[in-house]
Amino acid sequence: MAATDQQDRKPRVLVADGDCLVAAGIRKLLEQDCEVVGIVEDGRTLLAEAEKLRPDICITESVLPLLNGLDVAHRLAKVNPGSRIIFVTSQANSSYIAEAFRAGVSAYVLKRSAPVELSQAIHAVMKGQYYLTPLITKDLLVAGTNGSNKQIGPPSASCLTPVNAKCCS
């Protein structure tokens, strides 16, 4: 497949969430811009389906039955190295977020984020960029300016989307 063909086609997305209603909502949000190839409810099934379906992106909750999101992220690189992972989660802990990116997550969106952020995250990861919800970026900056002893440094501007870079500057 030529590079332009790949850029013109809709991203193939596999959705994993233990809550059926949330998964259905994500599917509805994506149906205009993406090809949702499947919805699963647990981490083990996510890995099996990712190996079989070869999605471009796996959108997953960080807390899944049978195999948590961090374990999925570590293992997905072996099962389908071409897949990118987007966490859509309630987890807003800065050390957990850092661990998620170290595990191979490409984007991190909170469930309280605006729906458009999921689309922004998908576009970013399809371009090889990383995405961090501005809600977290703001929280991290506030934590860093409130005398917190956590080491929070500016992320490399080259790996951020323009929106994230603006939030961090």
Residue-level pLDDT at 62: 82
| Radius of gyration in angstroms for the set of CA atoms belonging to the chain, rounded to a whole number | 16
How crowded is the C-beta side of 132, counted as CA atoms within 13 Å? 26
Bridge partners (DSSP) of residue 89 are: 110
What is the model's pLDDT at position 142? 60
pLDDT value of residue 166: 52
pLDDT of amino acid 84:
95
Q: If one looks up domain 3-133 in CATH, what number appears?
A: 3.40.50.2300
Among 101, 129, 135, CA closest to 116: 135
Domain ranges, ordered by start, for the chain: 3-133
Measure the CA–CA gap between 46 and 64, rounded to whole angstroms.
Answer: 10
- Strands across the sheet with 84-89, in order? 35-40, 12-16, 57-60, 84-89, 105-110, 131-132
Mean pLDDT by runs of 10 across the 169 residues of the chain is 58 90 90 92 91 94 81 87 91 87 92 92 94 79 53 45 51
**What sign results for the dihedral spanned by CA atoms 72, 19, 99, 126?**
positive
Q: Which amino acid is at 50?
A: A
Here the contacts of 135-139 (C-beta below 8 Å, separation 24 or greater) are: 135/92, 135/110, 136/92, 136/94, 136/97, 136/108, 136/110, 137/164, 137/167, 137/168, 138/167, 139/92, 139/94
